[in-house]
Amino acid sequence: MSAGWLEPHGKSIFHWVWNFQQYPILAIVFARELGDTSAVRRLRQMIEADVVRLMREHLESQFPKVCPTCHFRYEDLRQYIFITERIEPSVCYDAEIEDWTPRQPIGTATYSNCRCGTTLALSSHGMPVLRLWALYHWARGEKKRRGITMPELLSYLRDQIRQQVLAEPPKGESKDIP
Ligand SMILES: [Zn+2]
C-alpha cells in the first residue's frame, strides 16, 4: 500500500489524526490494522519529530540564560551547546518514582557545566502539564519498545536536538547573502 495518504501536510484523514497533541496512537492503530508497516514506521518518526520539536521549543524558551556564578549570559541554545560541557545523565524525576501523570510535576532536567564550572540546568519547568503528560506517555512507551532506560532515551533526544541546532546556520547569518 502506498503511504501517500500519510503525508503530514497532505489532505488525507490522517492529517487530522496524526497531530501529536491529538490522537497519534489512533493513527498508528489504523495503520497497523491496515497492515501498513511502513506507515507505522513513518508515524513513529513523525511523532518523534514532534517530540523533539516540542522539547527544543521549551528549551529555547529558557534563553537568554545567565550563570548565577560568573554571570556569563548565554544568548541562545546554540551558544549554550557550544560553550557548556554536557553532563549525563538527564533525569526525569517523575519517571524515577513511576509517576507518569503527575498533578504537580517534579519535572525533567538536563545538566551542563558552565565555563566557570558551575552546573547549569535546563528543565521542563513551566511546560503545560497536559503537554508534559503527553511527552511522558510517549517516553514511557518508547523506552519499553526500544528496550532502553529513561536516561538513555533522554540522552538520545538530547543528541537529536543538539544535531538539529548545530546543523543550522547561526542566527543573524542568512544563506541568502553571498
Ligand atoms: Zn558560569
> pLDDT for 113-139, tens place per residue?
999 999 999 999 999 888 898 899 899
Assess contact for 85 and 113: CB atoms under 8 A.
yes
pLDDT value for 173: 59
Higher pLDDT, residue 18 or 129: 129
Q: Using CA atoms, how far apart are residues 129 and 70, in angstroms rounded to an integer?
A: 33
Side-chain half-sphere of 173: how many Cα atoms within 13 Å?
4
- State the distance from the centre of ligand 1 to the C-alpha of 47, rounded, in angstroms: 36
84/119 Cα distance (integer angstroms): 9
Predicted pLDDT of residue 163: 96
Residues with CB under 5 A from ligand 1 (ion): 67, 69-70, 114, 116, 118
Please say if the pLDDT value at position 166 is more than 60.
Answer: yes
Q: Which three cell numbers stand for residue 87?
A: 553532563
Q: How much distance in Å is there from the Cα of 114 to the middle of ligand 1?
A: 5
pLDDT for 19 beyond 60? no
Whether the pLDDT of residue 146 is over 60: the answer is: yes
How many whole angstroms from 115 Cα to the centroid of ligand 1?
6
Dihedral angle of Cα 59, 108, 43, 35, to the nearest 10 degrees: 170
pTM value is 0.80
Which secondary-structure segment (H or E) carries 66?
Answer: strand 65-66
Give CA angle at 22 (18, 27), nearest 5°.
35
DSSP 80: H
Residue 23 grid cell: 490522537
Report the pLDDT value the prediction gives residue 69, as an integer from 0 to 100. Answer: 98
Question: Which of 73, 51, 61 has its CA nearest to residue 154?
Answer: 51
Per-residue model confidence (pLDDT) at position 8: 46
- Reply yes or no on whether the pLDDT at 9 is more than 60: no
Q: Would you state the pLDDT for residue 13?
A: 46
